[in-house]
Structure 1
Amino acid sequence: MTVIRQMTYHPVGRRAAAVETMTLDRLRELNDGGTQRADFHVLAVVDAGNGAVTVDFLRYPLRKRSVVWVVPGAVHRWDDIAALSGHLVLFVPTAPVTRATREFVASPGLAAHWTVPDADWPYVDAARNHLLLETSAPSGDTPTELPEILLSALVARLRPPDTEAQSTHPVFRLFRSSVEAHFREHHDAGYYARALGYAPRTLSRAVQQATGRTAKAFLVDRIVLEAKRLLAHDRLTAAACAHTLGFPDASNFSVFFRKATGMRPGAWQAAATVG
């Protein structure tokens, strides 16, 4: 298990920059095969080879022109990167400088994995290489805003997809942002309807149209994801998870988790952390 709290993927003796880059060769040297959870974005672009990464308990194949985007707080593990070549870009959430790219980065629905279309690759490659060149400049030689500007260009060229097909639905977007901010304290979909000023049926209809799930199911899924992160990476007990996620006690949390997943927290934790 690896806990990562600062850029880069290893302790550094200087104040971390807002944007840093590294090769997949360097990642192989640092990777211990365990889970990682960072408080910054991890963006990987693969040039060649085949491998795999697991992000929030879903395994994704990696190949030429694959992109991996790990948002802050997500649990991830580099399963098979021995044959991969490419680069990682590590950046803090406030690094992008344009409105559009900041909205991309702030979206809770960012896809964790996709493949760059052939027609887009020359532009993605050029934007990535320019960023690599600037971040490799000697300290003090690069104007401080250049890496952030070039990061924004790369994000714009990558055009990250959103996991929710109808994410432009304004009611759903408000709901999703509110859930992300308050799911640890409020487990009732009715709270979000009241806070956003919508009738419960109106809110649930909007979420259903955007995701195929009810507002309650969307909220449950988000709480369960965080519970899994805490159980698998932080190795918290059911009692500690209950406290962190706003449940009155371990028993209440265990009933919730078992109803949602079919397993008790301890059993799920043991299966997720085996080996």
Structure 2
Amino acid sequence: MVETGHVTVIRQMTYQPVGRVAAAVEMMTFGRLRGLSDGGTQRADFHVLAVVDAGRGAVTVDFLRHPLRERSAVWVAPGAVHRWDDIADVAGHVVLFVPTAPVTHATRQLAATPDLAAHWNIPDGDWPFVDTARNHLLLEASAPPADTSTELPEILLSALIARLRPPHAEARSANPAFRLFRSSVETHFREHHDAGYYARALGYAPRTLSRAVQQATGRTAKTYIVDRIALEAKRLLAHDRLTAAGCAGALGFPDASNFSVFFLNATGMRPGAWQSAVAVP
């Protein structure tokens, strides 16, 4: 894990395993993470999956703060901005992996989920299985490079993901209409902001699609789209330090004024005010 660029607020990170050519999975302790982290906000092009053994702290993922405690898990998707706020007393391990690392169909689907869960607590009954899967991956990842099959860490990563049973795994059983909608929104939200477009493109009646989204998320299709655009706008404002005009161009709004009205309605703040509020002094 190395820095490849600097911006005013958030560092862009790219995946580069230390000492393992072409390795798709890397592990580190929270102790090592503390040595690498300066408390700043980061945005990575790889997955960050953490298992907490003991201690208390906090992590902020996409501007939402989550408490860390014993037997909890964190999953930061590529593109999400995150900051380890307080990990001085946290013990456990962090797994870094590229999006293509999981080898089973189910775990690849979980890794590709656009709105995956950032934090959850691991049930007591699941902990022995999670702990064993994590330790097996740790052992394999620590083997000398000459003795390591590049496939084994990926296989064991998939086992760990499966045993962690992240909350967004339940979305795999959601209405097929919602799954198609979610995937289509992730692909086209920069160009298409209208729920009607997705209904037409997917071949569903607007009411059918809206009902499917409501059942899966508790939100209307329109609200889901608005939330996704607003999240990307926050990332652009914080990470790329774009102006309202820059965000408008990147997110398919006709001009800065239209984007500013959208952002104000979606977040309760004007883009410039929000950008100033999240800036690190």
- TM-score of the alignment, normalized to the shorter chain, above 0.5: yes
How far 1:137 moved relative to its partner?
1.1
Tell me by how many angstroms 1:272 deviates. 1.5
Contact 1:166/1:209 (<8 A) preserved = no
**TM-score, normalisation: structure 2:** 0.92
Query: Secondary structure of the residue that 1:171 maps to in structure 2?
Result: helix
Shift in Å, 1:206: 1.4
> Are residue 77 (structure 1) and residue 83 (structure 2) matched?
yes
* TM alignment of 1:57-206, pairs within 5 A: 57-162=63-168, 168-206=174-212
CA deviations on 1:153-187 (whole Å, 9 max, x unpaired) are 10111011129879611111110111011111111
CA shift at 1:135, angstroms?
0.8
Residue 261 of structure 1: aligned partner: 267
Gaps of 5+ in 1: none
**Over aligned residue pairs, what C-alpha RMSD do you find?**
1.7
Q: Who is 1:20 aligned against?
A: 26
Q: Is the 8 A contact 1:128 1:154 kept in 2?
A: yes
Would you say the 8 A contact 1:166–1:211 is kept in 2?
Answer: no
Structure 2: 5+ residue runs without aligned partners? 1-9
How many aligned residue pairs are there? 272
- Distance (Å, rounded) in 1 between the aligned partners of 2:20 and 2:148: 16
Matched, 1:6 2:15: yes
Distance in 2 between residues matched to 1:255 and 1:163, nearest whole Å: 35
- Structure 1 stretches (4+) deviating beyond 3 angstroms? 12-16, 163-167
Whether the 8 Å contact between 1:7 and 1:40 is mirrored in structure 2 is no
Residue 141 (structure 1) shift = 1.3
Q: Please state whether the residue corresponding to 1:42 is helix, strand or coil.
A: strand
- Structure 1's 195 and 95: CA in aligned 2 closer, same or farther, altered over 3 A? same
Give me the identity figure in percent.
Answer: 78
Q: Classify 1:237/1:15 alpha carbon distance in 2 versus 1 (closer, same or farther; 3 Å).
A: farther
| 1:92-121 deviations in Å (ceiling 9; x for gaps) | 111111111111111123211011111111
Distance 1:222 1:164 in 2: 20
SS of residue in 2 equivalent to 1:155: helix
SS of residue paired to 2:125:
coil
CA pair 166-133 structure 1, distance change in 2 beyond 3 A: closer
Q: Residue in 1 aligned with 2:38?
A: 32
The within-5 A match list for 1:244-255 is: 244-255=250-261
CA contact (8 A) 2:41 2:81 kept: yes
